[in-house]
Chain A
Amino acid sequence: MDMAWSALGISLKVAGCATAISLVLGVGVGFLLARAHFPGRDLLDTVLTLPMVMPPTVLGYYLLVLIGRRGWLGGWLQETFGINLIFTWQGAVIAATVVAFPLVFKPARAAFEAVDGQLEQAARVLGIPEIGVFFRVTLPLAWRGILAGVLLAFARALGEFGATLMVAGSIPGKTQTLSVAVYEAVQAGQDEVANVLVLITSVVCLVVLMAAGRLAPGRIASK
């Protein structure tokens, strides 16, 4: 049973980090796509949305090519800093981030686009610098939509399986998350362990979804 709790701990750690990174990147990219007009904007949006529809194993393969020991980025990290991401929990964070990120930046972009531009203009005329306009008007008004996306991203990161398995493997107590542990338990015929793991996962996901539903009624229900 220790293994179940350590898997829960790893899952929360990985999903928490992935959600935090997705939040910062998602708000930034969402705001950029909502406000800036530049060539290739739609292409960027599409590419960043791709992880939502692509099989996680394909994403995992891409990540291996990129951050693997002989990958473009991974090889450089290994040579320059001696950093290896494969089969580490940090690797699992990267996998979960790629998968969860679209769930933050999509609603963030929509929420920023829904903010009445006249309110930002009112703030500017009152002498508030652009950074203040963002943190005092734009972000507070878009916050509910963003937060709903963040909770969904957390739930998605918690359930990540394919990409995580390919990048971080399944090392008990080190990289084995809940969803991977369920698979291992069933494969090994440990039905009792699997039951506990499934129950824990279900409760955590239920809580997250209920919280998300309270924040943005309608938006979640229509998905």
Chain B
Amino acid sequence: MELEIDIRKTLRSGKRNFHLDVRLRTHSRRIVIYGPSGSGKSLTLKAIAGLMRPDDGCIRLGGVTLFDSAAGVDLAPQSRQVGYLFQDYALFPHLTVRQNIGFGLAGGWRNPSPERRHEAVDYWLEAFKLEPMAHQFPDELSGGQRQRTALARALVAHPRALLLDEPFAALDPALRARMRAELDELQRRLEVPMVLITHDEDDVAVFGDHVSCLRDGRIADPGTDCSEALLHDAAD
């Protein structure tokens, strides 16, 4: 899986301007974009998913052009076939765990009934030990269960890549280590390419086959070691 990002975006809020200028090219299956909050990590991830439109540049994933301002290509988020794990999971509060996981499998204008069974949904409910909670709503779940539900929802349709926005930031430290190991094992088993953004260097250690450091909207020169940035950040 090849990921190529070369995008620019200017955001204005009040009198401040924020310039995002990200270049990244890798064949790795485990990509970490590391940087402090406000460095533009989330924007970059949103651009890959089609939730943020860059001013210009291009984004290619596995040979498919997702965005190319010069060629006028801008695939809708619906046609990019990526899985996205939001920082606070963005589970649908009005739907049960089963309905949440199966959300993307059902077409049409109406949500499938809570009783409707689907093979792929059953598989993930079992794999993540969520069967006892299948009929519960997201606000009745623990942090770990919420994350598993969101992961299952993202993986159930076999996405071409999994995008993770600070996946462990909302968890307490003990659970964080466990979920990190779980995701590590899962990624190796599924071999799904993933792009993970984080400001936690433990994530970099576990998932960072390819690490890009983002600061003030810019990726540090490709090839340079990130350890300096890591050390610098740890000292803050």
- A→B interface (CB under 8 Å): 116, 118-119, 121-129, 131-132, 135-137, 140-141
B81 near A127 with CB under 8 A, answer: yes
A-side contacts of B157, CB under 8 Å: 126-127
Question: CA A122 – CA B78 in complex, angstroms?
Answer: 10
Main secondary structure of the interface of B (DSSP, over half): loop
Q: Are B104 and A127 in contact (CB under 8 A)?
A: yes
- In the bound assembly, the distance between CA atoms of A119 and B154 in angstroms comes to 13
CB of B49 closer than 8 Å to a CB of A: yes
Chain A residues, Cβ within 8 Å of B50: 124-125
B92 touches A125 (CB 8 A): no
Q: Is B30 an interface residue (CB 8 A)?
A: no
Interface hub of A129, A131, A132, A136 (most chain B Cβ within 10 A) = A136
Return chain A residues, CB-CB under 8 Å to B93.
Answer: 119, 141
Q: How many Å from the CB of A127 to the closest CB on chain B?
A: 5
9 closest A-B pairs (Cβ-Cβ)? A126-B104, A122-B90, A124-B77, A135-B109, A125-B84, A118-B90, A127-B78, A136-B111, A140-B94
Q: How far is the CB of A215 from chain B (nearest CB, A)?
A: 15
Q: Give every chain A residue within 8 A of B92 (Cβ-Cβ).
A: 119, 122-123, 137
Q: Which residues of B contact A126 (CB under 8 A)?
A: 103-104, 153-154, 157
Tell me the minimal C-beta distance from B192 to chain A in angstroms: 15
When chains A and B are docked, how far (Å) is the Cα of A131 from the Cα of B108? 9
Q: With the chains together, A122 CA to B150 CA distance in Å? A: 10
A128 close to B90 (CB less than 8 A): no
Interface size class of B (residues with CB under 8 A): 20 to 34
Residues of B within 8 A of A124 (CB): 50-51, 76-78
With A124-B78, A126-B157, A127-B78: A132-B109 Cβ-Cβ less than 8 Å: yes
Interface presence of B98 (CB below 8 A): no
Cα(A44)–Cα(B93), bound, Å: 32
DSSP majority for the A interface? helix
Q: Known A116-B90, A126-B157, A141-B93; judge A135-B110 contact (CB<8 A).
A: yes
| Chain A hits for B79, CB < 8 A | 127
Indicate if B86 sits at the interface (CB-CB under 8 A). yes
CB-CB < 8 A to B164: which residues of A? none
Residue of B whose beta carbon sits closest to that of A123 = B103
- Bound CA span A90–B108, Å: 35
B residues engaging A (CB < 8 A)?
49-51, 76-84, 86, 88, 90, 92-94, 103-104, 107-111, 153-154, 157
* A122 in contact with B84 given A127-B78, A128-B78, A128-B103 (CB within 8 Å): yes
Contact: B110 with A129, CB < 8 Å?
no
> Among A121, A129, A132, A140, which residue has its beta carbon within 8 angstroms of that of B90?
A121
Identify 30 residue pairs between A and B in the complex whose beta-carbon atoms are under 8 Å apart, listed by A's number.
A118-B86, A118-B88, A119-B93, A121-B49, A122-B84, A123-B92, A123-B103, A124-B51, A124-B76, A124-B78, A125-B49, A125-B50, A125-B80, A125-B82, A125-B83, A126-B103, A126-B154, A126-B157, A127-B78, A127-B79, A129-B78, A131-B109, A132-B108, A132-B109, A135-B109, A136-B103, A136-B110, A140-B111, A141-B93, A141-B94
**CB of B82 to closest CB in A, whole Å:** 7
With a CB–CB cut-off of 8 A, which chain B residues contact A131? 109
Chain B nearest CB, measured from A71 CB (Å): 39
Contact: A125 with B111, CB < 8 Å? no
Q: What CA separation (Å) do A135 and B51 show in the bound complex?
A: 20
The residue of chain B having its C-beta at the shortest distance from the C-beta of A141 within the complex is B94
B103 proximity list for chain A (CB < 8 A): 123, 126, 128, 136
B51 and A125 form a contact (CB under 8 A): yes
Residues of A within 8 A of B51 (CB): 121, 124-125
Which of chain B's residues has its CB closest to A137's CB?
B92
CA distance A158 to B110 in the complex (A): 32
Q: B residues within 8 A CB of A119?
A: 90, 92-93
Residue of A nearest to B76 (CB): A124
A residues in contact with B81, CB < 8 Å:
127
**Residues of chain B with a CB closer than 8 A to A122's CB:** 84, 86, 90, 92
Query: CA A122 – CA B50 in complex, angstroms?
Result: 11
Q: How far is the CB of B95 from chain A (nearest CB, A)?
A: 8
A162 → chain B, closest Cβ, in Å?
Answer: 40
